[in-house]
Amino acid sequence: MAAFAGLDVGTTSSKAVVYDADGLVLGTGRAATTWETTPDGTEISPEALRRSAFEALNAAAVDAGVEVRAVGVTCMGESGVLVDARERPLAPVIAWHDDRDGDEVADLAATIGAETFGGIAGKPLRGQFSLTKHRWLLRHTPATRDATTRFDVGGWVVRRLGGDAVLELSLAGRTGWLDVATCDWWDAALDWSGAHRALMPPLVAAGVPVGVVSSDEVSPLLRGAVLTLAGHDHQASALGARATGQGHELDSSGTAEALVRTITPIPSRADVARLANAGITTDPSVEAGHWSLLGGTEGGLAQLRAMERLGADVAQLDAAAEAGSGPGVEWRSVVATAADEALALHQAMDRVVGPAARVVVTGGWRHSAEVMRAKVARFGPLEVSSVEEAGALGAATLAARACGDIGANDHLGDP
């Protein structure tokens, strides 16, 4: 039986799923991603992050009980690992949402400017992307000045599994160092942050083979499996939900809501800057020849906090909202605000690249009748995905492509 593993190294946990060629789940695994709160901010040791990923992947392989032909790794963006010439980590991994780099963000705004940064890097000028945290590390952790390589999170895990030292394009886009139109490094941004081209591993597309699993710290069921990078986790989720065609949009409606739209060609630099000004990022897509627009809200988090505050579960709140009584009034208001925030991002994309061809909803909030009612009222007809771990399925799909068991445009489970 051919089996393919998808590993999603996320902010709260690492999730792994093993699938067969029909896309059916054979085994699952999960391990917490345990961050530390220090006087500087939120961080994790590279080894702790690696252990979380290995634990989840091992658990899924053992649960499946079959040999795995290929492993695809997707991950959170922005965070990275700096290593020396012997590939020993020189500093903790700073969380993508950590805000210790406020001074660096202000200096980037003054030196390069939001319009230029938005048009070339395809990013809003804010404290999320790799370059400002890299500059912070060079200023505050002297050992990092001896770094010879910078891995993203997925690249670090793949390297420790036995794969090549490489950097996948969609994750390179999350650094702020990449010119997203040319898919080459932006020297002015590298220079500003104190980085350089030699620090970066070779760039590769998602879904290409980058070695095989050789680590003796994983199950024998994984040894020899082809490795591939499956890119940014939101894009892998879009692939898993089969929402990466031209103009397709994924609404990942979880605690952190994300709208991910796949397009081609890339907009002009002026339009990429317009998107960035609206809070929308532009990155190379995990689908060759395409780009990905991403906008996020905290609407899902607001809904979660409202549910906790109101002391009721989703079904109870949905019923109360339908009846228009008690806590349902507040619930409907919170859900409406979240839907309006998502709609604003959706419409900002429309204004630049035209209307979406289709919208597919994933994530836990898709199970709420009130959330879906609010979305349909604003977006019009929506498709609801039945996939529970879309990121893992997207990563496993790219793994199956990497080892040649399915075609470059095929999905697990295709006829």
> Which of the listed CATH numbers 1.20.1440.230, 3.30.420.40, 3.40.50.11740, 3.10.20.30 matches domain 242-384?
3.30.420.40
Q: For residue 180, what is the DSSP state?
A: T
CATH H superfamily, domain 3-237+389-402: ATPase, nucleotide binding domain (3.30.420.40)
pLDDT per position as a tens digit, 287-316: 999 999 999 999 999 999 999 999 999 999
Element (H or E) spanning 391, and its range? Answer: helix 390-402
Give 283-327 as a DSSP string: EE-SSTT-EEEEEEESHHHHHHHHHHHHT--HHHHHHHHHHT-TH
Tell me whether domains 3-237+389-402 and 242-384 share a fold: yes
- Confidence bin at 414 (pLDDT 50/70/90): confident
Residue 286: closest CA among 398, 391, 183: 398
The residue with tokens 């002297």 is 142
* Cβ-Cβ contacts under 8 Å for 209 (sequence gap 6 or more): 226, 227, 228, 402, 403
Residue 222: closest CA among 1, 2, 5: 5
Indicate if the pLDDT at residue 22 is higher than 90. yes
pTM, to two decimals: 0.97
Residue 254: closest CA among 389, 95, 392, 79: 389
Q: Where are the beta strands (DSSP E) in 10-60?
A: 13-20, 25-32, 36-37, 42-44
Indicate if the pLDDT at residue 255 is higher than 90. no
pLDDT per position as a tens digit, 195-244: 999 999 999 999 999 999 999 999 999 999 999 999 999 999 999 999 99
Indicate if the pLDDT at residue 415 is higher than 80. no
Please state whether the peptide bond connecting residue 355 to the residue before it is cis, i.e. omega within 30 degrees of 0. Answer: no
**Domain limits of the chain?**
3-237+389-402, 242-384
Distance CA 368, CA 314 (A): 6
